Structure 1
């Protein structure tokens, strides 16, 4: 049975009921859940002082190591911790003990920094509150999470635009929240990844701001060094009246014209219920043909013993 330690590097747990539902579901599935003290902390908009949140992450390098370190939520705050952490030492230790770091959204800052400083492969995936603690949790997300961190090889597929040109390529899988990616551009915490498969998502950004962020990746040279760009979910991405209908489709159309690499839409990842769990930093392959995208990877860190708990619908019914 895996041990899950909760970490709160960003925002405070504003939805206490969702957090408790998540804990109950994981325990009902047979997991040991520790680190519950982070669910009681708040300092301003953060889940505790910077020193407290950084200490939680540093403690992951101390025995006994958990199998999984799971972010409780995103928000903002992880960037404030980067200068407080010995990221090289933390990454080496986590790789040695096999602890899997999992989260998304603001968590992308830690993933970028750990990979840049130590090459640590982490997971872009579900979090405690919004995913495992949802009123109606997603069986899709639950199943893909446990399968991905248990299996030595993973193959994923999703429908994409029928007019997407055929793609057959491979590279390092990486990415995450678009705003967080751009926020660390030009810093020592942004890894240089050439020949990558870059995935992006975001929430609450109107289309023109999504385009501005993508242009930042384009003009900085990041996009042209990739083998493909995978477009995840852009939730609540609504044009304003001033936009005169300039929507996300228009943004993606412009991106296709300028970036010079394949753009593949529809990746189930982002601030929505159904999401894949994706390793950040592992070799992967991508094939797109006839309106279907297929992504596979192997060699990613995983649980020492495969763990496939009961489906989330059954677990949720027992909470």
Structure 2
């Protein structure tokens, strides 16, 4: 075979292989595109139920925060079962990877436990996301909640089992009237709740206009879909894994804390490059607390970053929702069907998130 023919044959073989690979990839993508599980709704929590308190992320170094968390849950009417590793520590984690995973698996397996709540966030949940027994969880569905670093677990459990989980206050959170009332309405009373920022000016210092917790509409309109999301950094860290949410037709909600703006930009770029943003039906931007320019010359503002990534999508988007590292927070069902109104800045649950 002449060099030119040999080169042509190699080129043809490579092209054929690429087409075959592309076809295989397309088949894989098609398979993944039909993999969203039907939602499983946990039973609503009620007074007298037992909450399993676990520490799947950072360690709690002092005794009093744990005591306060237990007393807060008891004040809500619950009994509290402490994980054997609740006060554990391995480095800055609340126990070894095996211990932290076992604390969740055992709470799901325990029929005397009605729901599971994380003590606190921090970091470490990604280390155990592949150590949970998802078949067990699917057989014993129950309330599971937390936020911040728990973003990886609430999304992973929802993706792997279909169980609706909750981005909500944790044991160590401030259980004020606002947060408690939203938790009760969604998780305990089973309301198809309307989540909307407070707008009573007089409650906020008699200003002529509202100056706190304002809603900004990036693009108006309404959209429906299952809720996915949470902390932006943790969410993007799941990209490429089996625990990455299905973004097709979903409503994405995001929040962040203590990240420079250029890092927020990079995280949103990752979502765009992964093809996630282009599949959404709507976006809810929560609080980006202490997300500053940092050092260096010049920066885009958060508003400009959000405009750059979300306006080209031509879908409803609003920012400022009471979701994130803040004192007053919504309880948000991950995997729950909702409708957002970007003009009103609201999230309407289309059905109760619990049975």
Query: Deviations along 1:179-220, whole A, 9 cap, x unmatched?
Result: 111101111111223111100011110111101101111111
The 5 A counterparts of 1:152-301 are 152-158=191-197, 159-161=214-216, 164-289=218-343, 292-301=344-353
Asked if 1:90 corresponds to 2:90, the answer is no
Q: Show structure 1 runs of 4+ deviating over 6 A.
A: none
Query: Could you tell me how far 1:262 is from its partner in structure 2?
Result: 2.8
Aligned to 1:309: none
Q: 1:94 and 1:175 mapped to 2: Cα distance?
A: 23
Q: 1:191 to 1:11 in 2, by over 3 A?
A: same
Q: 1:169 and 1:301 mapped to 2: Cα distance?
A: 18
**Correspondent of 2:156 among 100, 110, 113:** 113
Q: 2:327 and 2:184 mapped to 1: Cα distance?
A: 16
Asked whether the equivalents of residues 11 and 45 of structure 1 are also in contact (C-alpha less than 8 Å), the reply is yes
Q: 1:7 to 1:243 in 2, by over 3 A?
A: farther
**Correspondent of 1:79 among 126, 140, 154:** 126
Aligned to 2:7: none
Higher relative contact order (CA 8 A, sep 6+): 1
Query: Could you tell me how far 1:139 is from its partner in structure 2?
Result: 1.5
Q: 2:190 and 2:229 mapped to 1: Cα distance?
A: 21
Q: 1:52 to 1:30 in 2, by over 3 A?
A: same
Q: 1:280 and 1:200 mapped to 2: Cα distance?
A: 12
Aligned to 1:39: 86
User: Tell me, which stretches of 5 or more residues in structure 2 are unaligned?
Assistant: 1-47, 198-213
Query: Could you tell me how far 1:151 is from its partner in structure 2?
Result: 2.1
Query: Deviations along 1:231-268, whole A, 9 cap, x unmatched?
Result: 11111111123152532122222223444433210110
Asked if 1:53 corresponds to 2:100, the answer is yes
Number of residue pairs the alignment of both structures matches = 291
Q: 2:83 and 2:155 mapped to 1: Cα distance?
A: 26
User: Tell me, which stretches of 5 or more residues in structure 1 are unaligned?
Assistant: 133-137, 305-319
Q: 1:280 and 1:164 mapped to 2: Cα distance?
A: 23
Looking at secondary structure, tell me which structure has more strand per residue.
1
Query: TM-score, normalization: structure 1?
Result: 0.85
Max Rg structure = 2
Q: 1:187 and 1:266 mapped to 2: Cα distance?
A: 29
Q: 1:57 and 1:28 mapped to 2: Cα distance?
A: 23
Q: 1:157 to 1:113 in 2, by over 3 A?
A: same
Asked whether the equivalents of residues 186 and 353 of structure 2 are also in contact (C-alpha less than 8 Å), the reply is no
Q: 1:114 and 1:240 mapped to 2: Cα distance?
A: 35
